[in-house]
A and B are shown apart, each in its own frame.
Chain A
Amino acid sequence: MHKSFKAGEMREHVLRGLDLRVERGEFLAVMGPSGCGKSTLLHLLGLMDKPDSGSIIIDGQDTTYMDEQTQAAIRRRKIGFVFQRFNLLNVLSGYDNIALSLKIRGLDTDGIDRLLASMGVAEVARKSPEKMSMGQQQRLTVARAIAHKPDILLADEPTGSLDSANTQTVLEMFKRANEQDGLTIVMITHSPTVASAASRVVYMKDGKIIDGNT
């Protein structure tokens, strides 16, 4: 894959012929220095952006040049996002953030309380996210991302804003979802400790995978 962005009058090449294969049920960590294209890769995998060239194949389907509505449908059914900055809707309670995600997907909201309890945020779920701690917000983000039982979880620095205790909690959630539910996880991280929770680690530099690829 190739991907570039316009920066003023120049063109900045972020991904330069990146090749990556992720197996179903794999827990993959992507590491690399700042600006190497990790977040761009994640956005492309999540069909939130289009590559300049190359293709993104999910479950044997080439999604690269599908129209926006079809890509949105794939995001709805198969993909969950965990952002570093949480990106929760502060106008809704924690519970309603998850309920909205399920409503968009046409799913019922029966299992939300159980999910919240398993994430350890049941007691704060009726509050607005801005009234929660960072750890609680990130656990809520994870809960929202997996509530609809996606096939793929894309996590962009999910522990970047957390202390070690909360980091551990989030990683345990990832591992549990990966091992018990077969959830395929692609996680971006700077931290080798966090990356060690994954089953495979790849290293990026200058828009390419330089190590760990299969």
Chain B
Amino acid sequence: MLPLPLANILHHRLRSLLSALGVAIAVCMLITLSGLARGTLEEIAKRWQGVNADIIVYPAHWSDNITTIGGGGVGRGDLKMLKSLKVGDKPVIDYLVPICILQGKVAKVNCNIVGIKPEDFHLLVEKPGKKLTGRIFDPHNKFAKWLEAKLTAPSEETLSISRAELARRGGLEMVIDTRLARSTGLKIGDKVYVAGHRFKIVGEIPAGVLARAFIPLATAQWLMDLSMGRYTLIFAKLHNPSVMGDVIRKINTTSRLKATSLGQYRNMLEARFGIMYLYIDTVNTITLIVAMLFVLVTLYTIVIQHRREIAILKSMGATRRFILREILAEAMILTGIGTIMGILLAPVAGATIEAFLPLLTVKISPRWVLISILAAAGGGVLAAVYPAWCAMRMNPAEILTLE
């Protein structure tokens, strides 16, 4: 004998499909929206951990609560001090990469723009699988040398450098990441206005490392009105990562600087998003409630249509437990099918969002998959139990006579 719940589902195929789809949409929405919010923030933090370095060194006056990274708090003197660091009489630093960070808009997209020396770009940013397409900006450092010479040359005239000259000297060149390229439609050879200057895109790097846009360090310092020897922070690569703890401790004893591992810095960055996570969790909770209500309404109408069936079962002497079990089984089967569909749809939805909005990241979290399963199950049980209970309390004689 075909079980009654299955018989109901197969007999009303379209209704069952639409019900399962309703549940699937609710589940998919919950998983995808929660993944979108957290994924985007985590991607920002993860990019910092993707660089070829072990330690990040920053000004001591930065606290854990600072959300904006910028300025020129470290200098050449700090570079010299770091270079000379030793642990057990052995030099520990392999290389140092100073960078400047400015916030700007590239083709109307807000992003951090990193100023970095061209030779340091290959050290810090490029890695297997993440190679530059096109070329690096100012490949022989000609612009940096010219600008430094210009800025340090004694002259009685007021220094004035035109945009045209900056461009002619190769200072207005930019490398962008693939996500920014996809999002804005920019490609190698295009020109884009940033901070009032017309930059030429000369290269493209796979996304996931440090920032979306890179310009010559000297250009960043010029735009930020910093002297040539000032930087926002310094990345350090060690000969032997096992001495990382000792190196960090040594740096932290100075009054000017602080250091932390890149993993720790990522956590600090994520902690800075604290208020955002509260916002995200609030939005997710509302989405959860909406998803449950969606499931509830979808299945409630099905159960209401079972009044006549319940009355027939009662006329045959079916117990309440039997009737409730049959109704619940049908609701749970539909919920289960819908939940599986929703879980399978979520990565597709995430990939679609990332394809159309490349700057967003959807991270499917097992925790939210579990929450959505429980929400769907909870909604399904409520949707089945309450109307079934009401229908069971009705007079079957009345229902069978009238319907």
Report A101 CB to chain B, min CB distance, Å.
5
Residues of A close to B345: CB separation below 8 A: none
Nearest residue, chain B, Cβ from A90: B11
Number of inter-chain CB pairs below 8 Å? 77
Residues of B close to A43: CB separation below 8 A: 397
- For residue B348, CB closer than 8 A to chain A, the reply is no
Q: Report yes or no: B7 in contact with A81, Cβ–Cβ below 8 A.
A: no
Most chain A CB neighbours (cut-off 10 Å) among B1, B320, B322, B400: B1
Residues of B close to A100: CB separation below 8 A: 1, 4, 316
Give the distance in Å from the alpha carbon of A74 to the alpha carbon of B317 in the complex.
7
- For residue A63, CB closer than 8 A to chain B, the reply is no
Q: Report yes or no: B1 in contact with A87, Cβ–Cβ below 8 A.
A: no
- For residue B313, CB closer than 8 A to chain A, the reply is yes
- For residue A79, CB closer than 8 A to chain B, the reply is yes
Residues of B close to A93: CB separation below 8 A: 2
Q: Report yes or no: A72 in contact with B314, Cβ–Cβ below 8 A.
A: yes
Q: Report yes or no: B317 in contact with A72, Cβ–Cβ below 8 A.
A: yes
Known: A96-B7, A103-B1. A76 touches B316 (CB 8 A): yes
Residues of B close to A174: CB separation below 8 A: none
Known: A96-B2, A103-B1. A69 touches B319 (CB 8 A): yes
Residues of B close to A88: CB separation below 8 A: 312
Q: Report yes or no: A104 in contact with B313, Cβ–Cβ below 8 A.
A: yes
Q: Report yes or no: A91 in contact with B8, Cβ–Cβ below 8 A.
A: yes
Report A48 CB to chain B, min CB distance, Å.
4
Q: Report yes or no: A48 in contact with B312, Cβ–Cβ below 8 A.
A: no
CB contact list, A113-129 vs B, under 8 A? 128
Residues of A close to B12: CB separation below 8 A: 91
Report A39 CB to chain B, min CB distance, Å.
7
**How many chain-A residues does the 8 Å CB contact rule pick out?**
35
Residues of B close to A85: CB separation below 8 A: 400
CB contact list, B162-192 vs A, under 8 A? none
Residues of B close to A40: CB separation below 8 A: 397
Report B142 CB to chain A, min CB distance, Å.
81
- A72 interface neighbour in B2, B10, B318, B395, Cβ under 8 Å: B318
Q: Report yes or no: B1 in contact with A99, Cβ–Cβ below 8 A.
A: yes
Residues of A close to B308: CB separation below 8 A: 87
Most chain A CB neighbours (cut-off 10 Å) among B4, B308, B309, B312: B312
CB contact list, A34-90 vs B, under 8 A? 39-40, 43, 46, 48-49, 68-69, 72-77, 79, 81, 83, 85, 87-90
Report B251 CB to chain A, min CB distance, Å.
74
CB contact list, B264-317 vs A, under 8 A? 308-309, 311-317
Give the distance in Å from the alpha carbon of A69 to the alpha carbon of B319 in the complex.
7
- For residue A92, CB closer than 8 A to chain B, the reply is yes
Over the window 9-30 of chain B, the binary record of Cβ atoms lying under 8 Å from chain A Cβ atoms (1 yes, 0 no) is 0111000000000000000000
Residues of A close to B319: CB separation below 8 A: 69, 72
- For residue A109, CB closer than 8 A to chain B, the reply is yes
Give the distance in Å from the alpha carbon of A91 to the alpha carbon of B312 in the complex.
13
Residues of B close to A131: CB separation below 8 A: none
Known: A43-B397, A49-B397, A90-B11. A69 touches B320 (CB 8 A): yes
Most chain A CB neighbours (cut-off 10 Å) among B308, B314, B317, B320: B317
Give 8 A-B pairs besides A75-B317, A90-B11, A91-B10 with Cβ atoms closer than 8 angstroms.
A46-B315, A48-B396, A48-B397, A72-B314, A75-B316, A91-B4, A104-B317, A104-B322
Residues of A within 8 A of B (CB): 39-40, 43, 46, 48-49, 68-69, 72-77, 79, 81, 83, 85, 87-93, 95-96, 99-101, 103-105, 109, 128
27 contacts between A and B (CB under 8 A): A39-B401, A46-B397, A48-B397, A49-B395, A49-B397, A72-B314, A73-B317, A76-B318, A77-B317, A81-B315, A83-B315, A87-B308, A87-B312, A87-B400, A89-B4, A89-B312, A90-B11, A91-B10, A92-B1, A92-B2, A92-B7, A100-B1, A100-B4, A101-B316, A104-B316, A104-B318, A128-B11
